[in-house]
Amino acid sequence: VKKPIPKTKELDSTLSLINEGFDFLPSRRKELQSDIFETRLLGKKSLCIAGEEAAAVFYDNKYFKRKGAAPKPLKKTLLGEGGIHGRDGEDHHHQKRMFLSMMTPERLEDMKRLAIEELDRKASEWEGMEQVLLLDEIEEVLARSVMNWAGLPLKESEVKQRTQELVAMVDSFGGSLTRFKEGAEARKSHEAWLKGIITDIRERVYSPPSYTPAYIVAMQKTPEGKFLDLEVAAVDLNNAYRPIIAAAYLIVFGALAIHEYPEMKAKLQADENNFSKLFAQEVRRYYPFAPAMAAKANRDFVWHGYHVKEGMLVVLDLFGTNRHPDLWDNADEFIPERFADWKGSPFAFVPQGGGHHHAGHRCAGEWMTVMVMQSFFKYLTENISYKVPEQDLSYDMARMPTMPKSRFIISDVMKIR
């Protein structure tokens, strides 16, 4: 039997999404008492879904494609135009293999080492500072180390500009016009820089090691044996390191958790049963970063009695799935230990997308993210001591991405020697 799909009262929900942010999808699902509902987003009829089974169908390539799914403003800022996010089928697999080839265990260790070295250098500076804005500092630490990791020739005089560009791109989604403009400008400037580097590598004027993303993307060939189009190569290269900036938000949320649940500090220090990993996973589940993903149905099909029409935009609620009460006990509580005996479903825990890394669109940087977060949480609890002065640590669920309003200030930093 065909079931009618519940609809939102409002005809078009774009403004509600911008105004309510991370709360929009979960609150409409609650109101309509349904894990599936229909509305319009940017004027297009859209189906919003959440939960483990919803994620399983969303990441089944038989039913969905990405071409034409991402909204134009996102391509101008966060994602870039013509890159991996919007590709399908063999074309996607070909590109995805390239990204995953950058993420060998050795290269992940390299990134962790570079990031911790940079963090340690920064911590020495923090010792002399009255107040440290942790979010901004971690962003710079990650930007410096990841550009080094990616094989980019970064001059000291350029660090500030390139870091700000990466931050502006990542901070640009969520509907603020000011942040959109900054993100679009940043992308233009950053891509122009990358196009120059890619050309230099192709002309052998600049030769980074062959295992770096800069070299791999510059020399990557299409199945027809040609170099990637220069514009697309710049987008792809950027996709191979920019996203680690997102981890800065999560690292700061982790610092917030350490502050709000004081028992976490000793547990992280002892690190029994790899507690720091459980902690990093719970930070990724509990705190908001990526709200949702969009795809287009590539055929008519019936899902749980609901008819999905070919071409329909379908939005998967990532944050709501991570907090879904059917999937998680006490879903709205911060409990790292829940991951100790977690069975590891690829569809119930989707902070960086779901499904399979190779076959689908699941994030290529997930292992790097977890490794870096885990090592930063250990560093913050074992290698330095600090105070958290009075400040506004609340975070606005309507802002996407969001962060503690104070950007997390620490003081009295001392390295433990």
Interface residues toward ligand HEM, by CB under 6 A: 84-85, 96, 99, 239-241, 243-244, 246-247, 250, 289-290, 293, 351-353, 361-365, 368-369
Residue 244: CB minimum distance to ligand HEM, A: 4
Using the minimum distance from each CB to ligand HEM, give the nearer residue, 116 or 247: 247
Query: C-alpha distances in angstroms, 108 versus 271, 367, 408?
Result: 21, 8, 27
Using the minimum distance from each CB to ligand HEM, give the nearer residue, 240 or 413: 240
Alpha carbon dihedral 40, 44, 45, 49, in 10-degree steps, equals -70
Residue 111: CB minimum distance to ligand HEM, A: 8
Q: Are 115 and 121 in contact (CB under 8 A)?
A: no
Q: 307 forms bridges with which residues in the sheet?
A: 302
The residue sitting closest to ligand HEM, measured at its beta carbon, is 365
Query: C-alpha distances in angstroms, 377 versus 134, 150, 251, 264, 340?
Result: 13, 23, 7, 10, 18
Q: Minimal CA–CA distance to 319: which of 23, 53, 79?
A: 23
Using the minimum distance from each CB to ligand HEM, give the nearer residue, 32 or 119: 119
Residue 4: CB minimum distance to ligand HEM, A: 28
Residue 44: CB minimum distance to ligand HEM, A: 18
What Rg do the C-alpha atoms of the chain give, in angstroms? 21
Quote the CA–CA distance of 23 and 222 in Å, as a whole number: 41
What number of other Cβ atoms are within 10 A of residue 11's Cβ?
A: 9
Q: What backbone torsions phi and psi does residue 192 show, to the nearest 5 degrees? A: -60, -40
Using the minimum distance from each CB to ligand HEM, give the nearer residue, 8 or 375: 375
Residue 100: CB minimum distance to ligand HEM, A: 9
What number of other Cβ atoms are within 10 A of residue 73's Cβ?
A: 17
Using the minimum distance from each CB to ligand HEM, give the nearer residue, 32 or 363: 363
Q: Are 80 and 238 in contact (CB under 8 A)?
A: yes
Residue 372: CB minimum distance to ligand HEM, A: 8
Quote the CA–CA distance of 416 and 35 in Å, as a whole number: 49
Q: What backbone torsions phi and psi does residue 40 show, to the nearest 5 degrees? A: -120, 140
Residue 197: CB minimum distance to ligand HEM, A: 17
Quote the CA–CA distance of 165 and 158 in Å, as a whole number: 11
Q: 49 forms bridges with which residues in the sheet?
A: 36, 316
Using the minimum distance from each CB to ligand HEM, give the nearer residue, 51 or 243: 243
Using the minimum distance from each CB to ligand HEM, give the nearer residue, 216 or 293: 293
Q: Are 99 and 343 in contact (CB under 8 A)?
A: no
Using the minimum distance from each CB to ligand HEM, give the nearer residue, 327 or 412: 327
Using the minimum distance from each CB to ligand HEM, give the nearer residue, 293 or 400: 293
Residue 385: CB minimum distance to ligand HEM, A: 26
What number of other Cβ atoms are within 10 A of residue 124's Cβ?
A: 11
CB-based contacts of 303: which residues, under 8 Å, 6+ apart? 36, 57
Residue 88 amino acid letter: D
Using the minimum distance from each CB to ligand HEM, give the nearer residue, 8 or 58: 58
Q: What backbone torsions phi and psi does residue 93 show, to the nearest 5 degrees? A: -55, -45
Residue 115: CB minimum distance to ligand HEM, A: 11
Quote the CA–CA distance of 116 and 110 in Å, as a whole number: 10
Using the minimum distance from each CB to ligand HEM, give the nearer residue, 29 or 85: 85
Residue 389: CB minimum distance to ligand HEM, A: 27
Residue 186: CB minimum distance to ligand HEM, A: 18
